Amino acid sequence: METLGLDARRRLTLAATILGSSLAFIDATVVIVALPTIEEDLALGLTGQQWIFLSYSLALASLYLVGGAVGDRYGRRRVFIAGAAGFAVASLLAGAAPNEATLIIARTLQGVAGAFLTTNSLALLRGVYGADSGRAIGLWTSFTSVATIAGPPAGGALVEWVSWRWIFLLNLPLAAATVVLALVGRCDEAPPERQGRLDLAGAALAAAGFGLLTYGLVEGADRGFGTVWWAFVGAVAALAAFVVVEQRVAQPMLPFELFRVRNFAVANAQTFLVYAGLYGFFVFFTIYLQFLGFTPFEAGLLNIPSSIIMIVLAARFGTLADKHGPRLYLTVGPALIGTGTVIFTLVDDKSEFWTAGIVGLATFSLGLAMMVAPITSTALKSAPERYAGIASGVNSTVSRLGSLVAIALIGLVITLVFESRTDDADAVPLAKNQEAPELREASIDAFRAGMALAAALAFAGAAVGGLGISNREARGEGAPAVSEQVPAPAES
């Protein structure tokens, strides 16, 4: 191992972060395909199915900031490896779960480990690659996006031909490979700062605030916001207390001084808007494909062109943004996402997917490849190196909160428009095998209204990027807002 040079160690670290993060991202989506089969096996009911999915997402959203702060304090590589090992243990428990309660606990533990895994993967890349992290983040984005998109069809194949338990058990060898790659790829990175105490009060309040907010948004869209008002009250109280605590402790988990850095504040505001539109499209796009007549497996396969575009172009756009500044890509990229979303609303029949649908999806995918690496790199590189883990946690939290808000609001819009177009109280919008002309027209109108909101969010994100991102600050010109990062040497 002593003969490995810096470039080789960097590549091994990059491979570890891609593989580890892919585990967490896949498990956020692949379980959806397996839910009906799991329900039959464990007698979950609808509520149980919902919580198998929600428990994972809630844990992720609640602990992103905590994961970043712990990585900054105790070492990002060390915490990343611990997250991968924890994910394997939780996956083993999920694969062997004998009942609903055990599976929900296992899914929650997967989310906890996943939060530490994903936030520290990006921070680790920042620490290892330094000022050249744009291309590395682009590669990370490309391959983790491929894994995320490939998850549903791959999960469907495992469920159909093997067992639903293997969607969890397959994580064990992959997590082991992640740990080995991370250990072999060690570099002499900046030592963690350990002065003072870990901000446990801030961590607990952030987890409680984001957890309650996420719960209220998701459950409110399904059961009515009036039934979960207490979650929003609790979230406001917890987040208000979090602000007070962070302003008083000696070493806050979230230093508010970060938001005085223009590009950090703007990039995270844009992340919220663009990822809201992005995930709002992807979730309901997949549902709409099945409404049009595609099978779940086919709907998953139709996402493959997006992954190919990401593989080919994301790293290149990350490199161009490093060289020329990110503002152009963070303006045009979200605008193309919005445009592709609008074009896809022209599809109201399965046959039309192969004309307008392909054009809309290609436009959307090009915008995604153009935007995703520069926006993540800008959010991370604008923060001082000592806060890289926290910056990654903030950006990951903002993106997930944006997606949850969008899914809740777009789902509400679709429901309201659908109900206004039909008198059938029992009908479900965008339902599979919906044959009645009145119901199909109502579903199509509802989908178009929801996608109009998704497109509006993407266009708003484009405006924020165009008006707010500073290329001079991103290139470090003038008064530096970010401490310089020295590339990490290989171990001797």
* pLDDT of 2: 53
The per-residue pLDDT for 492 is 32
What is residue 455's predicted lDDT score, i.e. its pLDDT? 95
The domain defined by 258-477 folds into Growth Hormone; Chain: A; (1.20.1250)
In b/e form, how buried is each residue of 233-266, taking b as 16+ CB within 10 angstroms?
Answer: ebbeebbebbeebbeeeebbbbeeebeebbbbeb
Provide the percentage of residues in the chain whose pLDDT is more than 70.
83
Q: What is the pLDDT of residues 378-391, one digit of tens each?
A: 887 777 777 766 77
The fraction of the chain above a pLDDT of 90, given in percent, is 16
Identify the weakest region by mean pLDDT among 86-90, 284-288, 455-459, 469-473.
284-288
- Model confidence band, residue 480 (pLDDT cutoffs 50, 70, 90): very low
Segment 439-459 shows an average pLDDT of 92
Q: Which sequence spans correspond to the domains of the chain? A: 1-186, 200-254, 258-477
Please, what is the average pLDDT of the chain? Answer: 79
Mean pLDDT, range 333-338, rounded to an integer:
94
Strand partners, 187: 490
Q: Which of 399, 398, 410 is nearest to 284 (CA)?
A: 410
Q: What confidence score (pLDDT) does residue 449 get?
A: 93
Tell me the pLDDT tens digit for each residue of 65-77. 777 778 777 788 8
Question: Which of 42-46, 59-63, 432-436 has the lowest average pLDDT?
Answer: 42-46
Whether 1-186 and 258-477 share one fold: the answer is yes
Q: How many CB atoms lie within 10 A of CB 440?
A: 17
CATH code: domain 1-186 is 1.20.1250.20
Does position 491 have pLDDT exceeding 60, yes or no?
no
Confidence bin at 438 (pLDDT 50/70/90) = confident
Q: Which amino acid does the sequence have at 303?
A: N
Residue-wise pLDDT for 398-422, tens only, equals 887 787 777 777 877 887 888 888 8
Task: Look at residues 136, 132, 190, 186 and name the one whose alpha carbon lies nearest to residue 8.
Answer: 186
414-418-423 Cα angle (round to 5): 155
> What one-letter code names the amino acid at 246?
E
482 pLDDT above the threshold of 50? no
Looking at 38-47, 103-112, 289-298, 429-438, which range is the least confident one?
38-47
Q: What confidence score (pLDDT) does residue 490 get?
A: 39
* pLDDT of 102 over the 80 cut: yes
Query: How confident is the model at residue 453, as a pLDDT?
Result: 95
Are the CB atoms for 421 and 445 separated by under 8 Å? yes
221 has a pLDDT exceeding 80:
no
- Residue 253 confidence (pLDDT): 66
- Indicate the SS3 state at residue 429: coil
- Of the candidates 100, 136, 134, 116, the residue with the CA atom closest to the CA atom of residue 23: 116
- What span, in angstroms and rounded, lies between the C-alpha atoms of 370 and 82? 33
CA distance 136 to 122: 9
What share of residues in the chain are helix, strand, coil (percent, to 5)? 80, 0, 20
CA-based nearest residue to 410, from 318, 279, 319, 320: 279
* CA–CA distance, 102 with 96 (Å, rounded to integer): 9
More confident residue, 431 or 285: 285
